[in-house]
Structure 1
Amino acid sequence: MGILMGIFAPEVIVQCLITIKYIVSQLIKFTIPLLILFYVTSGIAGLPKNSGKLLGKTVGLAYLSTLGAGLFAYAVASGLFPVLLHGAGHLPEAHTAIKPFLQLRIPPMMNIMTALTIAFIFGLGISNHDAGELRTVSNQGRDIIEMFLNKVMIPALPFYIAGVFADITVKGTVFATLKTFSLVLLAIIVMHWIWLTIQFCSAGIILRHSPMKILHRMMPAYFTAVGTMSSAATVPVTLQQTKRNGVSGPVANFVVPLCANIHMSGSVISIAGVAVAVMLMSGTTALPTLLQALPFLAMLGITMVAAPGAPGGAVMASAGLLGSMLGFTEEMIALQIVLHLAQDSFGTACNVTGDGVIALFIDRMTTHEEIAGDDDLQEAPVSINDSLYSE
């Protein structure tokens, strides 16, 4: 509709769409620090206090997988996309050809790094000192931000996207952009599949399982995530299929729900791949080397803790880092959001399917004594299976 309006609609209609796009972009920039503050604080504060070594292993392995996925995606995209997108055209200049009716600036309360720092300090403090009132505040703040996203931001996104495309149609770059979109989306989905292949082949070799068998058992979780676009909504299926892969009940009950919040390999592949494409299309930002992009990818893995529970939350949480660390303009962030949302379900599916691999590794690394020493795991309803790897 944005393209059609950009071609055929009167200028006043296009100006209305561009006004909506401008206001929504201001709200996005205002909301991102609050989203990170409350989601990260609530997530860290909610981590089990008495889960000791198992918690450390799970968080460490999930972060390494997320960071590895980002490095893989950035390396592949920076090598492939310059050839793939050669001659596809560039993004329009950062300024808007048709100005919005109302330029209402809504500055954020804090920057991204301030929000992250506060979230880590208070999240760890709440967890260690059992600060019940602060935990309630962080949880209620998270719920309010989620309600705002669900009631205001998400319903406004179609108009925002229409405004983006009406804008680039007026500027005459829409068809080159659409051609680029299709190539980038296909490449990113293939990168998801390659990363899953790497994960399951590694698990098969190290754990002496058949990679095809364990991947086959996780496919119901993959397809459920494609349909729901939510790691949290897919947890029951992921948990069931993980146990069918031989993971003990206590470990699966602990690892799968936790990884649904912290293991975002598919989302990071999507964000890193799209970011490379947008930088190449912009023609105004030099493409950083993999070493130069490492700080961004490392911070992105941490920031993804803020993504769960919010539809499209991964790209919303990353927008601040894209601007502050990679120099993205408002126009570049707008296209980043559009591209990410177009394949968000496949990134989520990659996330949850990889959770099964994390659970397999944690189950092999965990001893009966560690499980017995953790009060949270002792309460797990499923007993340990002594013949986990008999197949």
Structure 2
Amino acid sequence: MRIKLPFIIIAILVGVYFFGNGVDASVVTFFYTISSLIKEALVLVLPIVIFIFMTAFLVEFNSGVILFVTGLIGCIIASNTLVTFYSYGMFSLLHPLVIDTTHHTLNLTATTVIKPMFGLPIKMIVDNNIALLSGLAMGLLLTFFQNQRMILGFKKARETSVRILRKTLTPIIPLFIFGFMLKLQKEDLLEQMIVVYSKVFIVILITMILYITAMYTLLAKGNIVKAFKTMQAFFPAAITAFSTMSSMAAYPVTLECAQKISKNFRLTQGILTSTVNIHLMGVGIAIPIMAMTVMMYFGHPFPSLWTYSVFAFFLIFAKFTVAAIPGGSVVIAIPILHDHLGFTPEMSALMMSLYVLVDPFSTTTNVLGNGAFSLMMTKLFSPLVKPKS
């Protein structure tokens, strides 16, 4: 039986926490160099992946249903925007309870400084933001002009990219994290962070529960009993999502759950199919809250609304490019965190470690949120898209 990634990450954290200080600095430097090389390789590859995924997503639709598609995408963007700024508002209220920025900033002076032995000679060729916008433009062009050869090519490229990422990225995530965690422990920073992030984990769970409850209550027009009954109908999908850390793996179960309560299942099915991997409410809560905590821990101030808005803009559109693998959301988010929130490689590795641990809860929130969203959108679009007899 394959060991699930969160358990591997927990084992790494526990092992490094108890035994990391006893590891020789040269060994730490070796593993940190490997982690740095993996990070640099990701930076080189991700713009290509982002471009392919954004284009492939848009060509799923044809120009004949452009009005429905435009409306649906607009609603997805609005929903992802709402949850992303909800996270900012919640954390702006709660962060004083989570982290004492003065205390932790003073402890950032490392007793031992670990640096990589060398890096890749090739640097990023294309900026991630340009890749994202280029994919958006290419996808829209192909949607209108319907070049079938190119459309098929981008779909195959996406399938190939996902397959490669599954086979290469997922196995090396533990190694990537291991080197950075060894560095942080050798620099006497890991213990402080564990204390801080246990509190953040609780804040994230509370934020998720409140948001999902509000969604189902809105769907039930304020009827709390009906809201919990509707939410309960999606529990089998939620359990599947939690255990697999994959919205796609939970997708068949989500469809079965929706079929029992939807009054226009064909439309609900189409909406769920279109949004299963891009309408990510758990991601919109977990990544921003973790990112802001990591920033503040490493001495950055709480981000201004403008700084956060720029970051949120690119994060919201990056959700359309997420790969269907465990931790895929945070992998796509790393370049955005680097470009717009000033993340260093150490901060990025910490984000990946933390996100993989919370990923089961994030995916569960994605599935429950998408269940409510699909039913809301079914009510909204049913007058326009009626089921065939």
TM-score normalised to structure 2 length: 0.89
One-letter amino acid of the structure 2 residue matched with residue 311 of structure 1? P
Tell me, yes or no, if the aligned pair for 1:266 and 1:347 is still in contact at 8 Å: yes
| Cα pair distance change 1:342/1:208, threshold 3 Å | closer
| Cα pair distance change 1:135/1:109, threshold 3 Å | farther
Q: CA deviation at 1:2?
A: 3.1
Tell me, yes or no, if the aligned pair for 2:110 and 2:187 is still in contact at 8 Å: no
Q: Does 1:12 align with 2:23?
A: no
| Cα pair distance change 1:153/1:93, threshold 3 Å | farther
Q: CA deviation at 1:93?
A: 6.4
Residue 368 (structure 2) aligns with:
353
Residue 319 (structure 2) aligns with:
304
| Cα pair distance change 1:367/1:141, threshold 3 Å | closer
Distance in 1 between the 2:263 and 2:311 partners? Answer: 34
Tell me, yes or no, if the aligned pair for 2:111 and 2:188 is still in contact at 8 Å: no
Residue 10 (structure 2) aligns with:
none
Residue 386 (structure 1) aligns with:
none
Residue 42 (structure 1) aligns with:
56
Aligned ranges 1:199-218 → 2 under 5 Å: 199-205=215-221, 210-218=226-234
Tell me, yes or no, if the aligned pair for 1:168 and 1:174 is still in contact at 8 Å: yes
Residue 389 (structure 1) aligns with:
none
Which of 127, 134, 143 in structure 2 is aligned with 1:111?
Answer: 127
| Cα pair distance change 1:207/1:189, threshold 3 Å | closer
Distance in 1 between the 2:36 and 2:110 partners? Answer: 13
Residue 64 (structure 1) aligns with:
78
Which of 341, 344, 359 in structure 2 is aligned with 1:344?
Answer: 359
User: Alignment length, in residue pairs?
Assistant: 373
Residue 244 (structure 1) aligns with:
260
TM-score normalised to structure 1 length: 0.88
Distance in 2 between the 1:96 and 1:125 partners? Answer: 53
Tell me, yes or no, if the aligned pair for 1:59 and 1:262 is still in contact at 8 Å: no
One-letter amino acid of the structure 2 residue matched with residue 163 of structure 1? G
Aligned ranges 1:1-391 → 2 under 5 Å: 1-86=15-100, 89-90=104-105, 92=108, 97-205=113-221, 210-283=226-299, 285-368=300-383, 370-372=384-386, 378=388
SS in 2 for 1:89: helix
| Cα pair distance change 1:352/1:50, threshold 3 Å | farther
| Cα pair distance change 1:152/1:141, threshold 3 Å | same
Distance in 1 between the 2:66 and 2:32 partners? Answer: 51
Q: Give CA deviations for 1:12-43 in whole Å, capped at 9, x if unaligned.
A: 32222112111111122112212211111111
Q: CA deviation at 1:206?
A: 6.8
Moved more, 7-16 or 313-322: 7-16
Q: CA deviation at 1:335?
A: 1.4
Tell me, yes or no, if the aligned pair for 1:77 and 1:273 is still in contact at 8 Å: yes
Distance in 1 between the 2:301 and 2:104 partners? Answer: 16
Moved more, 102-111 or 303-312: 102-111
Q: Give CA deviations for 1:253-272 in whole Å, capped at 9, x if unaligned.
A: 20111110221111111111
Tell me, yes or no, if the aligned pair for 2:287 and 2:355 is still in contact at 8 Å: yes
Residue 7 (structure 2) aligns with:
none
| Cα pair distance change 1:237/1:48, threshold 3 Å | farther
Tell me, yes or no, if the aligned pair for 2:17 and 2:191 is still in contact at 8 Å: no
| Cα pair distance change 1:311/1:332, threshold 3 Å | same
Q: Give CA deviations for 1:253-310 in whole Å, capped at 9, x if unaligned.
A: 2011111022111111111110110111011x22223344123212211111111423
SS in 2 for 1:214: helix
Q: CA deviation at 1:200?
A: 0.8
One-letter amino acid of the structure 2 residue matched with residue 363 of structure 1? T
SS in 2 for 1:161: helix
Q: CA deviation at 1:108?
A: 2.3
Moved more, 171-180 or 197-206: 197-206
Tell me, yes or no, if the aligned pair for 2:255 and 2:272 is still in contact at 8 Å: yes
What are structure 2's unaligned runs of at least 5 residues? 1-14
Q: Percent identity?
A: 23
SS in 2 for 1:51: helix
One-letter amino acid of the structure 2 residue matched with residue 348 of structure 1? T
Distance in 1 between the 2:218 and 2:49 partners? Answer: 35
Residue 12 (structure 2) aligns with:
none
Q: CA deviation at 1:207?
A: 9.0
Distance in 2 between the 1:346 and 1:105 partners? Answer: 38
Moved more, 305-314 or 170-179: 305-314
| Cα pair distance change 1:255/1:281, threshold 3 Å | same
Tell me, yes or no, if the aligned pair for 1:27 and 1:106 is still in contact at 8 Å: no
